[in-house]
Structure 1
Amino acid sequence: MDTRQRLLKKKCLKNISALLREELIDILENKGAKRLWIRKWLSDRPVTGASALLLKQLRLEDPSEYRLALRVTAENFDELLSLIQSSIQRQDTLMRNALPAKIKLEVTLSFLATGMSYRSLSHFYHVSKPSISQFIPEVCRTIYKVLKQYIKVPNAEEWKNIERGFKTRWNFPLCYGCIDGKHVTIKAPPKSGGLYLNYKKTSSVVLLAIADLDYCFSYIDVGACGSASDGGVFKNCSIYQGLENNLLPDNGIIVGDAAFPLKTYLMNPYPGVNLSTEEKVFNYRLSRARRIIENVFGILVSRFRV
């Protein structure tokens, strides 16, 4: 009886070992294999993605809603695409086709316009989340590079037009622009401590800008840590030395708030509350001229909400 039990146990162990060996071989053979090369809903992008359906329909039937969706007109979109397409378009391979530059730009503009999560953009455009996280920074850098020429220090004739506009529209002669800073909220880099912590107790970088009377940027400086004051950022920006060396024609000025230092080329309001009538009138007119930069920032954040 003992002999039969031993033989039976030996046979069972042999069968179990064979089954386990086969299972282990299957696991090792399939360890690196993917279940799917691409999910079907992603491969249906040319048919069911937002670029092929919704945006195409809005472009043809409702241009105003198209502009609200991407914050640019169809004409502006085509012009911008023509400028950046060669830089962001990749070549097709034998394995799969590259993502079109048009979809990359649409996804990026949607992200900038609405602040949608990468996951939501993935579902909306039928583009994988890892791809979106890779190409959005690339497209943003390319847009900055090709549009950099449109934000420049004015020439002599443009200076005259700006001064004339401030004088006739806002009753502030010899004014060539208004300056201010805006905190742009970010996720603080690791081990940065309080370097990016601003007065609102949030992490940010500072966008310092000068605007003309037509609500257009003449100069921008972005990237200073949120803990820095507007005056400190101004003193370290690239245009500071130019202004110190009489960049503005005819002893002209720019206007700012009390956060900026008083200079021969930079006017800020009279401080305090016990002001004379002349000082109150001056502060009122300076405020009218300076509020343009506040409005510019308002337009910027209402259009692009990231």
Structure 2
Amino acid sequence: MEAMDWLDEEEEMVAVNAALLVLQYKSREYWIHPINERRHEFGKYHVLWPEISNDDNRCKMYIRMTMKEFEVLYNLLETKLRKQNTNFREAISPEERLLLSLRYLATGISCKSLGFEFCTGFSTVGEIVKECCEAIWRTLQPIYMPQPDQKHWKQIARQVQENWRFPHCIGALDGKHVQIQCPNNAGSAYFNYKGTHSIVLLALVDANYKFTWIDVGNYGRNSDGGIFETSLLGQWFASNKIDVSTDKPLTPTGQVGDEAFPLKRYLMRPFSRNN
């Protein structure tokens, strides 16, 4: 009996300490900041967006797309972005979540600034942008950037031949350094040859500059050629697993890249400028 009493006292102390921690936390922070509770009065989605959405030019300046394009994208993503209301708070609508994310992608503005604009918690903005970007990729990638097959590669090669007079080419390959603030404890991993910190977007595009394949997220210190070699597409080409035609005259067989890439059977690069 004494042992049971001792356990009850210990459990009671744990409960008391937990309650004190909760009270201490709530004394420092709001569950919802008073400003954010008035999102319907001050937030740009509720105040400014109804006016912008009626003007296509302003809409394109604000989110880089027309209202018609926004509606098409919204209809594709609505169910994926919808959240349930709870007893504690009203969920942010799918349309507002999409607008906030597109505003972030269109401007590169910080999550804190967007939080002030939309009267939303700063960490909530980051979660919304991440979830929305993932939903956009999962929904649109199979439609607009599916894995090309042999028929698709041949079509690209014909367009490159017609538009650019470059034969046997199924795409142009290059890397883009997306500048970032150096993450904590990252050392020189993201430091690139331009003297900034970045992650690399490596992309293959067709004759009309449209992406057919991308690799994003590599360290800025890595070269385009090194990233391509270790990428899924580079490994496919190196092991002949890519679905293109076999080598023969007047048949598309490879890609073009700049001097950052090695010369391969399936990759043409310009002559060196050294001599």
Q: Please tell me the TM-score bracket, short chain as reference.
A: 0.7 to 0.9
Q: Pairwise mapping of residues 1-306 of structure 1 onto structure 2 (< 5 A)?
A: 32=26, 38-60=32-54, 62-149=55-142, 150-244=144-238, 245=240, 247-249=243-245, 250-272=251-273
Distance 1:126 1:109 in 2: 16
Q: Distance in 2 between matches of 1:193 and 1:186?
A: 14
Alignment TM-score, normalising by the size of structure 1: 0.72
CA offset at residue 251 of structure 1?
5.0
How many residues are aligned here?
246
1:189–1:48: structure 2 CA closer, same or farther, 3 Å change rule? closer
Cα-Cα RMSD:
2.6
1:198: Cα distance to partner? 0.9
CA contact (8 A) 1:89 1:101 kept: yes
Q: 1:178 to 1:98 in 2, by over 3 A?
A: same
Contact 1:251 1:265 in 2 (8 A): no
- Do the aligned partners of residues 192 and 47 (structure 1) sit closer, same or farther apart at CA in structure 2, a change above 3 Å counting? closer
Mapped partners of 2:256, 2:83: distance in 1: 46
Residue aligned with 1:210, SS: strand
8 Å contact 1:176–1:248 — kept in the other structure? no
What runs of 5+ residues in structure 2 fail to find an aligned partner?
1-22, 246-250
Post-superposition CA distance 1:101-144 (Å, at most 9, x none): 21111111111111223333223222232321332222222222
Q: Whole-Å Cα distance in 2 between the matches of residues 110 and 63 of structure 1?
A: 15
Which entry has the higher C-alpha Rg, 1 or 2? 1
* 8 Å contact kept, 1:70–1:110: yes
Question: Equivalents in 1 of 2:268, 2:227: separation in Å?
Answer: 17
Cα distance in 1 for partners of 2:226, 2:176 equals: 13
Change (3 A) 1:122 1:35: closer
- Measured in 2, the distance between the counterparts of 1:47 and 1:235 equals 53
What is the TM-score with the length of structure 2 in the denominator? 0.79
The runs of 5 or more residues in structure 1 that have no matched partner are 1-29, 275-306
String of CA shifts for 1:35-94, please: whole Å, max 9, x gaps: 97645543333344222232221222x112201211122232223223333333221112
2: CA distance, partners of 1:56 / 1:112: 20
User: Which amino acid is the alignment partner of residue 153 of structure 2?
Assistant: W
Higher RCO (CA 8 Å, separation ≥ 6 residues): 1
- Match of 1:141, SS state, is helix
Q: 1:103 to 1:251 in 2, by over 3 A?
A: closer
Alpha-carbon contact 1:90-1:99 (below 8 Å) kept: yes
Report percent identity of matched pairs.
35
Query: Is the 8 Å Cα contact of residues 169 and 252 (structure 2) preserved in structure 1?
Result: no
Distance, in Å, in 1 between the alignment partners of 2:227 and 2:29 is 53
**Deviation per residue, 1:200-237 (Å, 9 max, x gap):** 22221111110001111000011211111111111000
2:46 alignment partner AA: A
Q: Which amino acid aligns with 2:68?
A: E
- Distance, in Å, in 2 between the alignment partners of 1:176 and 1:109 is 31
Secondary structure of 1:208's aligned partner: strand
